Amino acid sequence: MATIAVIGTGYVGLTTGACFAHLGHDVICADIDEEKIARLKEGQIPIVEDGLDRVVAEALSAGKIRFVVGATNASEHAEFHYLCVPTPQGSDGRADLRFLEAAAAEIGPSLPANSVVVNKSTVPVGSTEVVAKHLDRPDVRVVSNPEFLREGTAVQDFLHPDRVVIGSSDQEAAIRVAALYSKVRAPIMVTDPVSAETIKYASNAFLATKLSFVNAIATLCEHVGADVNDVTLGMGYDTRIGKEFLKPGPGWGGSCFPKDVAALARIADDYDYDFALLREVLNVNEAQFQRTAQKVIDALGPDPSSKKVAAWGLTFKAGTDDLRESPAIEVLQRVSGSGAQVVAFDPAIPSEIPQLPLVTVESDPLVAAKNADVLVVLTEWPEFKFVDFDQLADQMRGRTVVDGRNLLDRSTLKRRNFEVIGIGR
């Protein structure tokens, strides 16, 4: 078993550290946030992620994971050093590597000889060389090991991945990183660093493309009178297509897809390739936000400013408390811009959020729906399906539901005289 330093305890870093500890490695997780580290030492998890609290608690109890303040305090004792720092989208669409560069420069002088530094953050092609430059350690190898974690199922995805991708120009370093996954049953693909970095971007861009495609098909279904659920069911039986990511919705978002698609398009621009397909993927998604919001605004009638909208769902997907680039927020910003009063509920969001200053957040879905003229469903939380619809009918003033996820049972709602407006139906 190896000693691994994980630099950054965000969503990727904390999951990576906890899961490596679960596999038996000795892990030291570092962050600059002293309060966060203090909470993690007590087993308090700052994010909503299924199973992560249990894995961290087990690792703490077994003495397989420690949390420290400062990257140097972790790296001076480790053989492997996973960089899991943010790489946000810059104003020009490129990934901002300042945090990555700073982390490499900080740990460089303290690394034990012959260490391996691993890029786990999503980074542009050529970033292993950028890290190597800022490390300034000729004896240290830099390897790419991109993450493919889905929020809500990150622990499962780490421990039971579809594949492990390792990019290195040094075969010995690649073998050493591959050995960290010896207890994981999955194909391990070893390639060059640039190909590994491109695999990450290409994977997310393809999935985003699939989502934009199905949302465009949903719009077409509305025009021609088809039912998108039946259309996607028929498509999904084709093994070349598959059923995953064929669910229409209010648009896609999250911490990865928007910035990764934009970054890949920018990388193409940097190499004088016009990746027009990706630009249209982004355009279709932006249009989907507006289409969904317009369904709500149209349902309010000629004077939205005198009406109330209840919104179920604020996070970008169920199973997380992540609001980054959330389609729900994009839609509600447009709805609140019409002058309508908006009251929202999300099981993972207990209080008001700065991104939506004109939206009130309630702690119960039925309280949010009280005296509402329109209900809009924006996140696919399964508990929404089990709300008492008789009580919902009693609470609401209007009888219109805009189901942005095609989540609720239409026949149940229609029996209670609701009009149901779906996506592609």
Q: Are residues 254 and 309 in the same domain?
A: yes
Which CATH number characterizes residue 326's domain? 3.40.50.720
Q: Which residues pair with 141 in a beta bridge?
A: 116
For residue 227, the surrounding DSSP H or E stretch is none
- Give a yes or no: residue 210 inside a domain: no
Residue 212 lies in a domain: no
Q: What is the total residue count of the chain?
A: 425
- Same domain membership, residue 268 and residue 182: no
Instruction: Tell me the CA distances in angstroms from 112 to 79, 172, 415, one per residue in order.
Output: 7, 17, 69
Pick from 41, 68, 71, 70: nearest CA to 57? 41
What domain range is 389 assigned to?
Answer: 227-425
Q: Give CA–CA dist 118/32, Å, rounded.
A: 19
Nearest C-alpha neighbor of 346 from the set 334, 364, 330: 364
CA 368 vs CA 33, 134, 146, 365, 415: distances in Å: 35, 51, 40, 5, 22
Looking at the structure, tell me whether residues 281 and 408 fall in a common domain. yes
Q: How far is CA 31 from the centre of its chain?
A: 21
pTM of the full predicted structure?
0.93
Same structural domain, 300 and 352 = yes
Cβ count near 105 (within 10 Å): 15
CB distance 169 to 193 below 8 Å: yes
* Calpha distance 13→196 (Å, rounded): 19
Is 171 found in the same domain as 68? Answer: yes
Catalytic residues: 256
Residue 140 lies inside a defined structural domain of this protein:
yes
- Answer yes or no: do 185 and 287 share one domain: no
**pLDDT 10s digit of each residue in the chain, 425 long?**
999 999 999 999 999 999 999 999 999 999 999 999 999 999 999 999 999 999 999 999 999 999 999 999 999 989 999 999 998 888 777 888 999 999 999 999 999 999 999 999 888 888 999 999 999 999 999 999 999 999 999 999 999 999 999 999 999 999 999 999 999 999 999 999 999 999 999 999 999 999 999 999 999 999 999 999 999 999 999 999 999 999 999 999 998 999 999 999 999 999 999 999 999 999 999 999 999 999 999 999 999 999 999 999 999 999 999 999 999 999 999 999 999 999 999 999 988 888 888 899 999 999 999 999 999 999 999 999 999 999 999 999 999 999 999 999 999 999 999 999 999 99
In a domain, 200, yes or no: no
Per the structure, the count of domains in the chain is: 2
Q: What is the DSSP string of 97-138?
A: -HHHHHHHHHHGGGPPTT-EEEE-S---TTHHHHHHHHHT-T
Domain boundary among 191, 211, 242: 191
Q: Is residue 187 included in any domain, yes or no?
A: yes
Q: Which two tokens stand for residue 313?
A: 């769902």
DSSP 27-49: EEEEES-HHHHHHHHTT--SS--
SS3 letters for 75-103? HCCCCEEEECCCCCECCCCCECCHHHHHH
